Amino acid sequence: MKTLLQNKVKLCALSILVFLAFALVSCQKEVTANSKQNAAVNQQNGNATSHIWQYLVGEEPTIEGPDKTISDAGDTMIIAGSGIFHAATGEINGEGWYKHINPKLHSSDKGTWKAQKLISFANWGMAAPPLPSNFYGGLAVINIHLYPASGKAGTDATLYIYCVIPGAHPPPDTDEGIKLLINNTRYFNDQVFGQTLFIAQ
């Protein structure tokens, strides 16, 4: 009777050990599967934490352009260009061209612009397929300097670059395009035409 009881105890203990072994293997498989799944997600979204970005403003043929914006006074500013910035440090480079049209004075002015400082960058998220996974929406605010082709004195301005790409999550009622504030007095705030884009590097 004692031997039978000992055998039952041993069998019960063995059953418990087998159960725990299978449970451990199953748990390890689940952890491995989750790790692989998380790695795939991280690989897909890896660019989301990128600090280095390329920005495009009306640069054909990658996007439609040039970008056009109008002030409350009816002036039109047309801009195109591109560059690179580091979101963490604020370092930036970039340049392009512009054309200012004043219909009331029947005049126009053109020239080039150069990026001077990144004020801020808001990442609005990755573009939806089939667009490339390193295409992002967002808002970059950049200090630039305008250099008239006429040789007149240049002027400082603030360029607002809005990219509302499918798949991103911009604030409600946000339009694609640019806005431009010149000398904190002349505000071109009506986006009329053109596209922008942020590309994670």
Tell me the helix, strand and coil percentages in the chain, rounded to 5: 25, 45, 30
pLDDT tens track for 21-41: 323 223 333 333 333 333 333
- Find the mean pLDDT for residues 164-176: 96
Q: Please report, in angstroms and rounded to a whole number, the separation of the first and last CA atoms in the chain.
A: 76
Whether residue 140 is predicted with pLDDT greater than 90 in this model: the reply is yes
pLDDT given at position 185: 87
C-alpha 108/C-alpha 115 separation (Å) is: 22
With b for 16 or more beta-carbon neighbours within 10 A and e for fewer, the 98-119 pattern comes to bbbbeeeeeeeeebebbbeebe
Q: What is the pTM of this model?
A: 0.76
pLDDT tens track for 37-82: 333 333 334 444 579 999 999 999 999 999 999 999 999 999 999 9
